[in-house]
Amino acid sequence: MKYILVTGGVISGIGKGIIASSIGTILKSCGLRVTAIKIDPYINIDAGTFSPYEHGEVFVLDDGGEVDLDLGNYERFLDIRLTRDNNLTTGKIYQSVINKERKGDYLGKTVQVVPHITDAIQEWVMRQAKVSVDEDGVEPQVCVIELGGTVGDIESMPFIEAFRQFQFKVKRENFCNIHVSLVPQIMCRCSTPLETAVKEKISMFCHVEPTQVICVHDVSSIYRVPLLLESQGVVGYFCTRLDLPVETRARKMLTKWKEMSDRSDRLLEHVSIALVGKYTKLSDSYASVIKALEHSALAINHKLEVKVPPFLAPLHLTGFLVCCVYSGVLVPGGFGVRGTEGKIHAIRWAREKKKPFLGVCLGMQLAVCEFARNVLGWADANSTEFEPESKHPVVIEMPEHNPEQMGGTMRLGKRRTIFKSNNSVIRKLYGDVEFVDERHRHRFEVNPDLKHHFEEKGLQFVGEDVDGERMEVIELEDHGYFVGVQYHPEFTSRPIKPSPPYFGLLLAAAGKLQSYLLKGCRLSPRDTYSDRSGGSSPDSEIADLKYPSLS
């Protein structure tokens, strides 16, 4: 096993996650099997109880793990499936050591940061690095580890010490460290390539070779970062430093990234989506949602514009702005009552004015509330999350939810949804499959006892759980695209494989959904990848870049 540790200096948020993801992408393009671990030095056990304003979105994994959003970057870049133990926190380490101490595993000894905490960190990394992240179940060859925060933080010190010891335990040829730091220029960050003299000075004072000083300047999109690193000889360095059995020639996977990056830079047509959310002051709160929209917009050759309407404005103004200015409406997941009435009004306008609409998790639940109020005539219809005494509780708390404990008590992780209709638009977008497995994160659900009232008026529940007890997908009849999903499809969207519900929203917003469906879910030639990107040729190696279908 080869270990690559990515640390950061000067400031937090400098881009360690993108660097770690890009390094992994380059090595995977060489044919190596790559996994990733994110270390967060905070004392929380996991990210499940964080406010989105604290650390951005909570990313959900197949096994229900609620983790740091950087694991979303790893999954999207590397197209892998991680588990909850790929996110290591101080809380998890101390909890595991204390549990051992209580069981008597350290009987007779004083339990200390060194060696017990540092040993536990090393053991966790070595154990998790061997866990397969690919469908074939084969053990990874390289583990990229990102240490969150900044070197010098008090909370990071046990991890720094653990890896100081670790390098000797696994031997020099199996471990290296990438340190991401800030190089101040006139604009306070490295916005342009470094001059040779600057790289030589960094080399001298950091005691590394000039070839080991890699400049990551501003680029047009994050998809260019792996290409930028590869162009500076990163693969050659790793091959020598870690004795990797790979060739250094151009690789198919990076050809994909160049094709995709070139297309991204030359998009001319625009499509605008209204993101009617609660945590819009921090874009990271909806990182996966925005990425899923970007993946879908790129697939149809459009430049995405995500706009945040003033949904807390007077209700009539919200709906007017949403429908007059934007091509489609997205109401994402969330918790709490604040802003829900504004969201409901935006949903009403999208329904009545035939605007493309996608509701995710809470967004689907609010679409059901809106329909109940304005079509079924149940004026007080609501979720019991917001109005426990409602006479028409169209959204209810799940029986297994424990309200006394917040962390890890939701319906989490990968669950199966069975399609109940052969004519469903969302089913066709998924490739006309009988079922899909998507990730969930919710405490409330649509009241199944009221299902027939909605379906009689045209709101169809086209997807349910395996027992037929939970409503998973809604579609509105006689509407171009009005879809709600209880799950979070954004968590499994990939740059080359966009999420079907988001893809449908973008197709509808661009006026292409019906032609796409009539063509058997195939894009027109102008919207598929070709050799227009310059450096790539339309041969068999990049045939899989095209979007012939989503099956």
Q: Active-site residue numbers?
A: 361, 488, 490
The answer to whether 490 and 499 are in contact (CB under 8 A) is yes
Output the 3-class SS for 199-243: HHHHHHHHCCCHHHCCCCCCCCCHHHHHHHHHHCCHHHHHHHHCC
How many angstroms separate the Cα of 413 from the Cα of each of 25, 290, 438, 498?
25, 20, 8, 19
Q: Distance (Å, rounded) from C-alpha 399 to C-alpha 389?
A: 17
Angle at 259 between CA 258 and CA 263, to 5 degrees: 110
Q: Could you please report the per-residue DSSP string of 129-191?
A: HTS--STT-PPPSEEEEEE-S-TT-GGGHHHHHHHHHHHHHH-GGGEEEEEE-----TTSS--
**216 CB-side CA count, 13 A:** 24
Q: Could you please report the per-residue DSSP string of 42-100?
A: SSSSSSTT--HHHHSPPEE-TT--EE-THHHHHHHHHT----GGGEEEHHHHHHHHHHH
Task: Report the DSSP pairing between strands 175-180 and 435-442.
Answer: unpaired
Query: The tokens of 452 are what?
Result: 């027939």
Task: Report the DSSP pairing between strands 87-89 and 270-275.
Answer: unpaired
Judged by DSSP in three states, 441 sits in: strand
Judged by DSSP in three states, 298 sits in: helix
Q: Distance (Å, rounded) from C-alpha 163 to C-alpha 261?
A: 35
Closest CA to 507 of 483, 531, 530: 483
Output the 3-class SS for 475-515: EECCCCCEEEECCCHHHHCCCCCCCHHHHHHHHHHCCCHHH
Residues paired with 360 in a beta bridge? 485
Q: Distance (Å, rounded) from C-alpha 375 to C-alpha 414?
A: 33
Judged by DSSP in three states, 367 sits in: helix
